[in-house]
């Protein structure tokens, strides 16, 4: 920390409020990073090591990535010596920690410059090794100046999206937000594949500060709110927000932009979800289809005294702050954070419910709707001035305001709010250049201990996608005080249907239960270690070791994260690695070829089946056929191993010479489970090719009855 008084001040705060109404705050953990300082870095959190604990990822824009484990030990770092990095107080580069390849281990999705190219990369969370990479269609941002503020709008960020309607999202938005540019990628077994690329046709500043994926129309696919533009899941624009001119006295400034927004089902009585927008021109609420529901002017009003203040609306927060009122509430913050700057709460219709002053009430950059007390019935408001209830009454001091302040009155990077302990409450992670402080509610929990929110996929997505402008809404009421804790039944009929010396494909059937009890996903373990999660009833495990035994267990998982009490079990032994024959040594392993009927037509297909005398552990690469003119053609074979029959086809056309042709196999083509090799064809090795097309009928009679 630049000023070592911050932590001491926190300790003083904790002691001074002991025994008072604010006694709930405590220091849960202090992590010293002084041996590996993280200057001008923003924090992302998630389980990088796979031990179930929160780990820490810092980035300074483009130059440095540093990953630390739960105890503050450096796991890995990426350093780009050719880039000076941002090293700015306000850069907004936001990365994501998420299991994008569904191997039950989190990856880091980040930006890296590799050999001078701006790349999107997927890194192994524990080691930092690159698992996938692709060059981005936009360049890394350099110095960007607007109104004299160098680097002020330098911001790229990443969001996990569900553009393909999968039950577990595996899509990535790479966003260049100085001028909205969005590259959408899907993650497959082949790595990152570009789905679409969109560039705003709005002026860079007016296009907005960031992009937000959300399924606003409930079609199981995310739409993409890219600043003022709302895109469909395929990247086509659906509609655009009209926020009015930024400054009517200066038309050269263009239209206003989105400073912050949040999406949720704010009004449950209307179809779809709503988009709450904060901008210099005011507060806005849109329906999913672009219909404007209401807006208020830029200055925030005290509904009692009629006081108007502020320089536009800069931040928005959605939560269930007043569960006694139908729908969700929206909190808007004015532009500045000093002096008499307002914070207001509205209901779903835009009616003002609460007004406060940021000097003593909730303070922006960045605020969260959080579950501080673990009751899951009413959201609390986290801000740097403390934790507040729905009436803007302070429940607890969260931290010394100056802790993450640069000293010149500007803001340092916002803290992170998430469940650190793995219980039902959330904690606050403060950080500076050389330490991390985790603040928690030390009051005892009332009632039954409930599952951690990390059990829920939507919470993992929330933490991965919380960004520099707004926290993602998480519906605590969906998991409730008494969520379903009944585990689903295990899958049935687990088996391995194909194998080699280094892979296995598992298949199973879902349990025989009613539709509302069906598992959402299945989790696959190999020898007690999770290796994958899938919403399908099959899973391929790769990169195994030959001549080894493995025990697979497949569990059912429901929406609430409950896992079946018993798994389906399958024991498997990989085949011995094959090395091929030595010299001209042959074994007794041989094969014969069966030729199917030739189909009529100008181009005729000759079905070929290779039947082996022993069970093979490897599909023969090909069958060779030597034509009458000495030319050699190859017939590719397919089949399942271990197996004895493999099939292919030989297409006969006018380019194939007539006459006798001979089948043969390359040396060592046949490899059995026992290690025998061979290439002998014992019968059916000769055919006579006639490429004459069948005759046409002598006449055609048409009868019109």
Domain boundaries defined on the chain: 38-319+330-350+359-368+457-479, 492-573, 590-689
pTM of the model: 0.79
CB 251 within 8 A of CB 242: no
Q: In this model, does residue 284 exceed pLDDT 90?
A: yes
Strand pairing report for 260-264 and 308-309: unpaired
Q: What is the pLDDT at residue 136?
A: 94
Q: Encoding tokens for residue 39?
A: 């200057």
3 state DSSP class of 515: helix
**332-354, pLDDT tens digit by residue?**
988 764 455 788 999 999 998 99
Contacts of 213 (CB under 8 A, 6+ apart): 159, 160, 161, 162, 163, 173, 222, 223, 224, 225, 465
Which strands make up the sheet holding 223-226, listed edge to edge? Answer: 211-214, 223-226, 229-231, 237-240
- Minimum mean pLDDT range among 56-60, 222-226, 337-341: 337-341
- One fold for 38-319+330-350+359-368+457-479 and 492-573: no
The correct CATH number of 38-319+330-350+359-368+457-479 out of 3.30.160.250, 2.40.128.630, 2.30.30.100, 3.40.640.10 is 2.40.128.630
The reported pLDDT for the residue numbered 634 is 92
Give the pLDDT confidence of 398-408 residue by residue, as tens digits. 554 444 444 44
- Mean pLDDT is lowest, of 170-179, 316-325, 336-345, 452-461, for 336-345
Select from 149, 172, 150 the least CA-distant residue to 159: 172
The dihedral sign for the CA sequence 218, 224, 226, 230: negative
User: Which one of 3.90.190, 3.40.50, 2.60.40, 2.60.120 gives the CATH number of domain 590-689?
Assistant: 2.60.40
- Sheet strand arrangement including 632-636: 632-636, 622-626, 659-664, 686-689
C-alpha 47 chain-centroid distance: 14
Cβ-based neighbour number of residue 12 at 10 Å: 12
- Summarize pLDDT for 184-197 with one digit per residue, the tens: 999 998 899 999 99
Q: At 478, phi and psi to the nearest 5?
A: -65, -30
pLDDT digits (tens, 9 = 90+) for 568-599: 999 887 766 544 434 344 456 788 888 877 66
**Class of 492-573 per CATH?**
mainly beta
CA atoms of 185 and 540, how far apart (whole Å): 23
Q: Which residues contact 158 (CB under 8 A, 6 or more apart)?
A: 94, 95, 96, 109, 110, 111, 120, 172, 173, 174, 175
Q: H or E stretch including 323?
A: none
User: What is the residue-averaged pLDDT of the chain?
Assistant: 81
- The span from the CA of 296 to the CA of 285, in Å, is 9
536 token code pair: 């399908």
Ranges 57-71, 121-135, 251-265: which has the least confidence: 251-265
Residue 683 has pLDDT above 90, yes or no: no
Helices (H), 437-502: 457-465, 476-479
Euclidean distance between CA atoms 445 and 463, whole angstroms:
23
Instruction: Dig out the tokens for 315 from the structure.
Output: 């931040």
Residue corresponding to tokens 């001078």 = 116
107 closest CA partner among 160, 61, 157, 36:
160
**What is the Cα–Cα distance from 556 to 458, expressed in whole angstroms?**
18
- Position 374 confidence tier, pLDDT thresholds 50, 70, 90: confident
Q: Report pLDDT digits (tens) over 433-443.
A: 889 999 998 88
Has residue 550 got a pLDDT over 70? yes
Query: Could you tell me the pLDDT band of residue 250, with boundaries at 50, 70 and 90?
Result: low
Tokens of 213: 């994926």
Pairing status of strand 149-150 against strand 145-146: antiparallel
């Amino acid at each position: 920390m630049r000023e070592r008084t911050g932590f001491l001040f926190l300790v003083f705060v904790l002691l001074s409020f002991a025994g008072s109404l604010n006694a709930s705050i405590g220091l849960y953990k202090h992590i010293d990073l002084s041996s590996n300082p993280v200057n001008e870095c923003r924090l992302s959190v998630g389980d990088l090591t796979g031990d179930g604990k929160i780990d820490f990822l810092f980035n300074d824009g483009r130059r440095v990535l540093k990953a630390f484990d739960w105890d503050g030990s450096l796991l890995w770092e990426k350093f780009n010596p050719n880039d000076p990095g941002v090293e700015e107080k306000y850069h907004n580069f936001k990365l994501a920690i998420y299991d994008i390849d569904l191997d039950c281990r989190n990856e880091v999705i980040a930006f890296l410059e590799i050999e001078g190219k701006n790349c999107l990369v997927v890194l192994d969370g524990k080691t930092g090794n690159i698992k996938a990479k692709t060059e981005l269609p936009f360049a890394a941002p350099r110095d960007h100046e607007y109104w004299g503020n160098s680097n002020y709008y330098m911001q790229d960020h990443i969001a996990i999206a569900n553009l393909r309607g999968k039950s577990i999202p595996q899509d990535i938005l790479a966003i260049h937000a100085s001028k909205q540019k969005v590259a959408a990628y899907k993650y497959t077994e082949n790595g990152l594949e570009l789905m679409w690329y969109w560039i705003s046709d709005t002026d860079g500043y007016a296009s907005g500060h960031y992009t937000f994926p959300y399924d606003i129309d409930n079609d199981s696919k995310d739409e993409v709110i890219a600043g003022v533009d709302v895109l469909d899941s395929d990247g086509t624009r659906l509609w655009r927000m009209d926020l009015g001119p930024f400054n009517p006295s200066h038309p050269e400034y263009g239209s206003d932009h989105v400073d912050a927004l949040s999406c949720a089902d704010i009004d449950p009585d209307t179809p779809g979800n709503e988009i709450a927008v904060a901008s210099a021109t005011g507060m806005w609420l849109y329906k999913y289809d672009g219909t404007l529901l209401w807006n208020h002017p830029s200055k925030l009003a005290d509904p009692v005294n009629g006081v108007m203040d502020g320089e536009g609306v800069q931040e928005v927060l959605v939560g269930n702050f007043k569960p006694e009122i139908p729908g969700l509430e929206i909190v808007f913050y004015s532009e500045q954070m000093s002096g008499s700057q307002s914070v207001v709460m509205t209901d779903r219709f835009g009616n003002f419910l609460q007004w406060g002053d940021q000097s003593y009430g909730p303070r922006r950059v960045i605020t969260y709707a959080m579950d501080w007390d673990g009751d899951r019935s009413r959201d609390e408001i986290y801000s740097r001035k403390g934790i507040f209830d729905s009436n803007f009454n302070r429940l607890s001091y969260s931290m010394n305001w100056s802790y993450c302040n640069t000293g010149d009155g500007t803001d340092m990077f916002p803290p992170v709010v998430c469940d650190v302990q793995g219980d039902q409450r959330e904690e606050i992670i403060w950080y500076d250049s050389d330490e991390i402080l985790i603040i928690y509610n030390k009051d005892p929990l009332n009632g039954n201990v409930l599952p951690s929110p990390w059990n829920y996929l939507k919470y993992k997505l929330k933490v991965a996608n919380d960004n520099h402008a707004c926290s993602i809404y998480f519906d605590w009421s969906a998991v409730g005080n008494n969520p379903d804790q009944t585990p689903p039944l295990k899958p049935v009929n687990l088996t391995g249907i194909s194998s080699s010396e280094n892979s296995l494909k598992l298949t199973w059937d879902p349990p025989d239960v009613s539709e509302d009890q069906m598992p959402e996903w299945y989790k696959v373990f190999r020898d007690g270690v999770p290796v994958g999660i899938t919403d399908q009833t099959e899973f391929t495990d790769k990169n195994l070791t030959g001549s080894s035994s493995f025990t697979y267990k497949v569990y059912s998982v429901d929406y609430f994260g409950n896992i079946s009490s018993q798994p389906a079990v399958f024991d498997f032994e990989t085949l011995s690695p094959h090395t091929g024959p030595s010299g001209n040594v042959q074994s007794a392993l041989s094969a014969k070829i069966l030729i199917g009927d030739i189909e009529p037509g100008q181009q005729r297909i000759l079905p070929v089946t290779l039947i082996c005398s022993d069970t093979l552990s490897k599909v023969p690469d090909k069958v060779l056929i030597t034509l009458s003119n000495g030319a050699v053609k190859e017939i590719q074979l397919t089949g399942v191993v271990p197996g004895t029959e493999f099939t292919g086809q030989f297409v006969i056309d006018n380019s194939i010479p007539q006459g006798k042709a001979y089948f043969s196999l390359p040396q060592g083509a046949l490899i059995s489970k026992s290690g025998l090799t061979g290439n002998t064809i014992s019968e059916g090795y000769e055919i006579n090719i006639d490429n004459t097309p069948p005759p046409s009928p002598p006449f055609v009679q048409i009868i019109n009855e």
